[in-house]
Structure 1
Amino acid sequence: MTQLSLATVLAEAARKHPGKLAVVDSATTERITYADLWQQTLGYAAGLRELGIGPGDTVAIQIPNLADFPRVYYAVLAVGATIVPMHLLLTADENAYVLRDSGAKLLVAHSSQLANAVAAAGQAGIDVVSVGPPAGVRRLEDAAAAVPPLRTYVSREAEDVAVVFYTSGTTGKPKGALLTHLNLVLNTMVNVFDIHDLRDDDVVMGCLPLFHTFGQTVGMNGTFRMGGTIVLLARFSGEAAIDLMVKENVTIFHGVPTMYIGLLEAAAKADRLPALRLCVSGGASLPVAVLEKFDQTFQAKIFEGYGLSETSPTATTNQPAFGARPGTVGHPIWGVEVEIARPEFDDRIELMDTGELGEIVIRGHNVFAGYLNNEEATRQAVVDGWFRTGDLGTRDAEGFITIVDRKKDMVLRGGFNVYPREVEEVLARHPAVVQVAVIGVPDPVQGEEICAVVVADPGGVTAEELIEWSKERLGKHKYPRQVRFAESLPLGPSMKVLKRELRKTYGSAE
């Protein structure tokens, strides 16, 4: 069998760039070279072995964007175990479910997360160790200090599971997506070497949550694979991110649309803006109005991409080789096929023609190994070798993929399909709209009615003005009849807008 470990990403970077700065931790002010980070990692790995962790075991990690995240992440890999990254915004009950379902043997939590971690681990009946400042439970640092560090990492087979990502559970309980060493190493390699012009002197902003697949693969693993420097920010705000990027000469920014909106708001008050060379957006659809305004403000182009936890994550992206087209998610990455299939067939994949709207399906080295303990969900998701994304989209004659919407977010108004994203794009262009999400709400006449939930500029705007703006720019069945104002939109752990929460709040709106 082919041997491959995701731990190689850091091990080889330490061999090739020992004296280079790997991590800047803005919270603790640590600045760590590759050689030191790898030695610390091997120390932690020995500590984990001392605590009874070995090949085939599962270890959950609950750590913010601090230097301890990569140290523990690669230590778990180095000892041959599988990682379950815990979301930091979930309740102890929700985390206990993940710990039980994943079969985790140990939870390594940063001391700042300990109250939640101890409660969750208690419910799941497993042990907790802490990293970070002393905090009243056994510390991984102490276990590591008692034994010599590992000499090197434990090798694994390429198809062994490296990381289990729990998907946000929009339908029922979260599902554990099994990502192999091969999935994650290849996605990291293709992101770094096949898509953009990345250099080993690049400084990458690490503000996407590292427990999430985008921040982990594209941000952390990608930076280490190319030998760059990642600057970690534990709590994102536009102001804090701009200050840190200017201070550390950041050249690359990875973010989700809510972060780009936050940076634009903060830019108006900033004395200096960072000299960004490359920006990548994913996680949700980026309104074209935001992309254009960002380009004008920061003099930096955003390349929008697309992927899911189940696809390691990157599946498609705008990339220089094919040209970039705002409003699309570009072309499939190297070694991955992305097609449009008939959404009405559950039991087979029937591909559609250029320009036709259907379900986006993916196959290639990035597709996961299935859902943990859930054969039925795996069978529904992977059909004829293709992963069904649940997203609706098109592919044009030049091969650009456009995401139209989630299958389940489509609104059926008076018998007509309305795709919220199209309405959001129009409203996002109104000068007083900071952020917008469009949902369907029950309606006795139309079945569903279009409702726009808007975060507006302090200057203000009325619902009537926004309805009129939309009416001029959208078909009669598409414009929102209802506008609700909110101070902010509910965000999930990966900074996506939670439309299910909006539907709960506004679903009975008159």
Structure 2
Amino acid sequence: MNVGALLVNTAGKFPDATAIVAGGTRLSFRELDERTRRLASALLAAGLRPGDAVGMLFYNTVPMVEAYFATVRAGLVAVPINFRLAGREMAFMLDDSGAKAFFYDPEFDPVIAGIRDGLDQLRFLVSPGPGPSGLARDYEQFLAGGRAGAADPEGIAEDHPCQIMYTSGTTGRPKGAVITHRNVIWNLFNTIQGREDRNGQVSIIVGPLYHTAALNNHLTIQVALGGTAVLVKNFDAEGLLATIERERATVISGSPAMYNLLMQHPAAGRYDTSSITKCTAGADKLAMETKRRLMEFFPNIDGVYDVYGCTEASPCIAILAARDSLRKDASIGPPLPFLQARIMDEMGRFLGPDQVGELVCRGPNVMRGYHNNPQGTAEAIIDGWLHTGDLARMDDEGYLYIVDRKKDMIVSGGENIYPRELEEVLYTHPEIADAAVVGLPDEVWGESVCAFVALKPGSGLGSEEVVELCKANLASYKKPKRVEFLDEIPRNPSGKVLKVELRRQWLDKSTN
């Protein structure tokens, strides 16, 4: 079995079912199978060989889905690129991966024109629409050059590379996680089990498809089970609400930040969201207050599936089932069935219930390693265990709780303070739209707590009230020493808070 075979199997079972909806375009599984088969043939006819890397830079569009499945069907390696990056960052990923071909949206033509001369390994570029640079071949003409009904290459094995997925790079240069076909398929088994997915779902895909959650979970699940993937090109709260109503979507997945924007939109009450029966959240901790609001906003869900993972695990490690949403406050659920997860101390010893240490995991979903980075691989995978960098604990029922990022823990006056704990408290205030807590240098205490807060429109909340809220709910030494108000909390495209950026903003402000 390989990832391309998932589409072939489903096209054989449900040829006329709608596979993709994107804007005004609708493709059946038969059409998606035929077009990706032809495109895969065109890639091989252009001189690429199994194992070569293919870059792709798209919004959530039909060409992104087609380019991805054509690439993996041809035995090539997909390299999705974050469209929010600067040209220099894109060039690094294309060069580091050794991409031989590059598919991209014509909107990015000026960026690509600026970096093309430095990309010596690229043999050709393809784009759906003419760009002013004239660098790319026309997408439809290139696809038409492939053979209709061409057979997929034989010998694409589960252990062959399927993707090189670059980490978000919130700290340091991004690393390319080499994800095999085996990794993707076992992640699929885990995720379907944890999310309790079924045939025939209609899933809204908002997360960008260059991210493992959107690509390997949200899209691939629908392809494997014969569901419909409704692609959202750019997030717009009211547009998303209208899409849910129009398509009678049954599944929605997103980050806590996205859900907050959706529920806070002035037009939120005007749209019918009753078709949604499954709601999943990931990328960051979903506060209990947000869960309760989501269960009111989507009246036919039984709770929220809280999904935890990382790029290196393809990505899923644990999922809290909807039925446990309110029973297991702050939990990410038990480890998924086809992997092992443990809590480990600094000495490499496994810890018992409710002891805090680093969450590690091993299983067939864990990446092969980082591309061209043996040192990074050796630091991430030790004795077969993937080190997530997250501090966690496991209760006596086997449910996991993320305490914080290992690198984000604040040590103030010898006391360990976990930012996530404060953030949970801040989210309970009705006038706080978003929040993040970081440690800042302190000459006396080593580090002190700073709360960055984004208020809802019209709020007059002051810093003293924020501090008092924390004091009323936590030990006094954990309260923020300072509170900074921002229009919005900076996050990366997957919804994770950019705490490095927050510290930089504070340092810039303090030195001016």
TM-score band w.r.t. shorter chain = over 0.9
Alignment correspondent of 2:159: 159
Q: Which amino acid aligns with 1:134?
A: P
Q: Secondary structure at the match of 2:290?
A: helix
Q: Does 1:17 align with 2:14?
A: yes
Residues 147 and 180 of structure 1: is their aligned pair in 2 closer, same or farther, counting only changes over 3 Å? closer
Whole-angstrom CA distance in 1 between matches of 2:266 and 2:185 = 36
Q: Does 1:129 align with 2:131?
A: no
Deviations 1:12-46 (A, max 9, x none): 111111000001002xx101100001111112112
Unpaired segments ≥5 residues, structure 2: none
Alignment correspondent of 2:47: 52
CA RMSD, 1 decimal: 1.7
Q: Does 1:439 align with 2:438?
A: yes
- Alignment size in residue pairs: 500
Whole-angstrom CA distance in 2 between matches of 1:352 and 1:202 = 40
Q: Secondary structure at the match of 1:388?
A: strand
- Cα offset for 1:264? 1.4
- Equivalent runs, 1:28-43 vs 2, <5 Å: 29-43=24-38
- Cα offset for 1:71? 0.5
Alignment correspondent of 2:306: 304
- Cα offset for 1:509? 5.7
Q: Which amino acid aligns with 2:328?
A: R
Alignment correspondent of 2:177: 177
Alignment correspondent of 2:320: 318
Alignment correspondent of 1:119: 114
My pick for the range that moved more, 120-129 or 108-117, is: 120-129
Instruction: Report the TM-score, using the length of structure 1 for normalisation.
Output: 0.94
Whole-angstrom CA distance in 2 between matches of 1:79 and 1:159 = 15
Q: Does 1:235 align with 2:234?
A: yes
- Cα offset for 1:320? 6.1
Q: Secondary structure at the match of 2:489?
A: coil
Residues 145 and 37 of structure 1: is their aligned pair in 2 closer, same or farther, counting only changes over 3 Å? same
Instruction: Report the TM-score, using the length of structure 2 for normalisation.
Output: 0.94
Q: Secondary structure at the match of 1:105?
A: strand
Q: Secondary structure at the match of 2:270?
A: coil
Q: Which amino acid aligns with 1:426?
A: V
Residues 484 and 182 of structure 1: is their aligned pair in 2 closer, same or farther, counting only changes over 3 Å? same
Whole-angstrom CA distance in 2 between matches of 1:134 and 1:433 = 46
Alignment correspondent of 1:8: 5
Q: Which amino acid aligns with 1:452?
A: A
- Cα offset for 1:171? 3.5
Residues 149 and 198 of structure 1: is their aligned pair in 2 closer, same or farther, counting only changes over 3 Å? same
Deviations 1:175-214 (A, max 9, x none): 111111000012113322x223323221000111111000
Whole-angstrom CA distance in 1 between matches of 2:324 and 2:291 = 19
Q: Secondary structure at the match of 2:271?
A: coil
Deviations 1:441-496 (A, max 9, x none): 11222221111111101122111111111111111111112111111121212222
Q: Does 1:225 align with 2:253?
A: no
Q: Which amino acid aligns with 1:335?
A: F
Deviations 1:409-435 (A, max 9, x none): 111112111100000000110110000
Residues 89 and 141 of structure 1: is their aligned pair in 2 closer, same or farther, counting only changes over 3 Å? same
Q: Is the CA contact (8 Å cut-off) linking 2:129 and 2:139 kept in structure 1?
A: no
Could you list the structure 1 runs, at least 4 aligned residues long, displaced by more than 3 angstroms after superposition. Answer: 267-270, 320-324, 507-510
Q: Secondary structure at the match of 1:332?
A: coil
Q: Is the CA contact (8 Å cut-off) linking 1:97 and 1:124 kept in structure 2?
A: no
My pick for the range that moved more, 113-122 or 349-358, is: 113-122
Deviations 1:113-171 (A, max 9, x none): 22223333432222452332332321232122234235232241111110011112234
Q: Is the CA contact (8 Å cut-off) linking 1:88 and 1:493 kept in structure 2?
A: no
Deviations 1:349-390 (A, max 9, x none): 310111100000001111110111111111111112111110
Q: Which amino acid aligns with 1:287?
A: A
Whole-angstrom CA distance in 1 between matches of 2:398 and 2:324 = 9
My pick for the range that moved more, 460-469 or 91-100, is: 460-469
Whole-angstrom CA distance in 2 between matches of 1:364 and 1:131 = 38
Q: Is the CA contact (8 Å cut-off) linking 2:3 and 2:185 kept in structure 1?
A: yes
Q: Is the CA contact (8 Å cut-off) linking 1:189 and 1:222 kept in structure 2?
A: no
Whole-angstrom CA distance in 1 between matches of 2:432 and 2:322 = 31
Question: How many percent of aligned residue pairs carry the same amino acid?
Answer: 32
Whole-angstrom CA distance in 1 between matches of 2:323 and 2:448 = 42
Q: Does 1:97 align with 2:92?
A: yes
Q: Which amino acid aligns with 2:5?
A: T
